A and B are shown apart, each in its own frame.
Chain A
C-alpha cells in the first residue's frame, strides 16, 4: 500500500517570509495524483494545490507552489509571503490513478505564522 510521510510535525515562520513543508511518498505506480490540503482551526479541509504525476511542470496557485521530484518521490509545498491566515495543519495526500478511490494522507504538519 502507498504511504505518505510528513517528517515535520510542527513548523513556524515569520509573517511575509517563505516556508517549505516536506512530503515523501512510497509507491510502485507511475500514474498518480498528489495533493496538499489545508486544515485551519475551523476544521475545514481545503484543497490548496494538485499535481498530476505525468506532468513535469510544478503546479502553482498564487502564493503556493510545489517542488515535485518524481524520481525521489518527494512533493514539497512552498508558501511565499506567509500570512497569518496560513496558520493551519497541512496534509499531503496521494491518490493512485489505478485505484482513485483510495487516497492516502500524511500525518500532517502544523504551521504557525508569527506576526
Chain B
C-alpha cells in the first residue's frame, strides 16, 4: 500500500470555523491531490500540487485553499467552513502525472 496518511479521519465542526486537513506521504511522490466525494458525483478534484509550493485549482476549488511547504505534506484549508462542504475528503499521490493515483483512507468532515 502507498504510504499515505490523512488526518484527522473524522471531524465535526461548526459553520464559520476554519478547518485544516493534512495529507502526509512517505513515497516522495511529486504529485499530490485533494478530492471530495459526494453521493451522485463520484470524486471531484479540489486542488492539486506538482511540487513544493506549486499548486493549482481543480474542478471545485471555491472555498478551499492548499499549501505544500514540504514534499511529504499537502494541507487543505477551509477558511470558513459551510454546510455544503460536508463531505468525505480524499488525498491522492502519483509519481508522475500520468501514473495511476493512489489514495489515502479519507477524512469524513461534518459541518453543522
What is the interface of chain B mostly: helix, strand, loop, or mixed? strand
How many chain A residues touch B (Cβ–Cβ < 8 Å)? Answer: 24
Count of inter-chain pairs, beta carbons less than 8 A: 51
Query: Which A residue sits closest to B102, measured CB to CB?
Result: A47
Is A97 within 8 A of B88, CB to CB?
A: no
Residue A28 interfacial (CB < 8 Å): no
B74 adjacent to chain A (CB < 8 Å):
no
CB distance from A27 to the nearest CB of B (A): 15
Total interface residues on B, CB under 8 Å, equals 24
Judge whether A19 is part of the interface by a CB distance below 8 angstroms.
no
Q: Within the complex, which residue of B31, B41, B90 is in contact with A45, where a contact is CB–CB below 8 Å?
A: B90
A-B contact pairs, 21 of them (CB 8 A): A1-B59, A35-B100, A37-B103, A42-B105, A43-B88, A43-B105, A43-B106, A44-B106, A45-B103, A47-B102, A91-B43, A95-B98, A101-B31, A101-B45, A101-B97, A102-B58, A103-B33, A103-B101, A105-B42, A105-B43, A107-B40
List B residues at the A interface (Cβ < 8 Å).
31, 33, 40-45, 48, 50, 56, 58-59, 88, 90, 92, 97-98, 100-103, 105-106
